Amino acid sequence: MVTLRVEGLPKGALEAAAVFHGKWLGRAVALLEPPLLGEVAARSADGGGVAREQAPSASLRSAPPPRGEDLVLIFPPADHTHRGWRLAVVQGLAREHAPLRVNALASASEPAIAEALAYLEAAGGVTGQYLPLDDAGAGAVV
């Protein structure tokens, strides 16, 4: 399971959603979608996007098919106005990338995040969930 810490979001829900979709969504998808079989990813010269080139055919016969990893997005705490867009993002990513699991946490408490990550690691059937954590009580879902 990999984590993506989402940072630098504006306070307003609409603005935060726009920044997430512009800056963070591509990063999340990249973690869920490894290079296609027969291709290797290489950074383009300008540093944006991913350029693809053909991999040698010998490596195709010996390597298992690439697979992304389960993903947990970690958002900073926010008020209730952010819940809708965050949940929609997580559910959409989970549906598009099944059987990989995609979940999200919202917290500023490292102990709460660590506890929730341990739970999600052990809970193989949990996907598409947005879990705002109670930072006062370790890991309790608000």
CATH of the domain at 92: 3.40.50.720
Q: Is 141 within the bounds of a domain? A: no
Count of alpha carbons within 13 Å of 9, Cβ hemisphere only?
Answer: 26
- Contact between 6 and 86 (Cβ < 8 Å): no
Q: How confident is the model at residue 13 (pLDDT cuts 50, 70, 90)?
A: very high
Look at residue 48 and tell me if it is in a domain.
no
Which of 75, 37, 80, 81 minimizes the C-alpha distance to 59? 37
**Structural domain containing residue 120:** 2-33+68-132
Sequence-distant (≥ 6) Cβ neighbours of residue 10 within 8 angstroms: 16, 19
Q: What is the pLDDT of residue 36?
A: 59
Q: How many domains does the chain have?
A: 1
Pairing of strands 71-75, 102-106: parallel
- Domain-located, residue 39: no
At 52-109, the pLDDT tens digits run 444 444 444 455 445 688 999 999 999 999 999 999 999 999 999 999 999 999 999 9
Domain-located, residue 78: yes
* Cα 86 to Cα 77: distance, rounded to the nearest angstrom: 11
When pLDDT is cut at 50, 70 and 90, the band that residue 134 belongs to is confident
Residue 43 lies in a domain: no
CA-nearest of 50, 58, 19 to 33 is 50
DSSP 141: B
Percent of the chain at pLDDT exceeding 90: 68
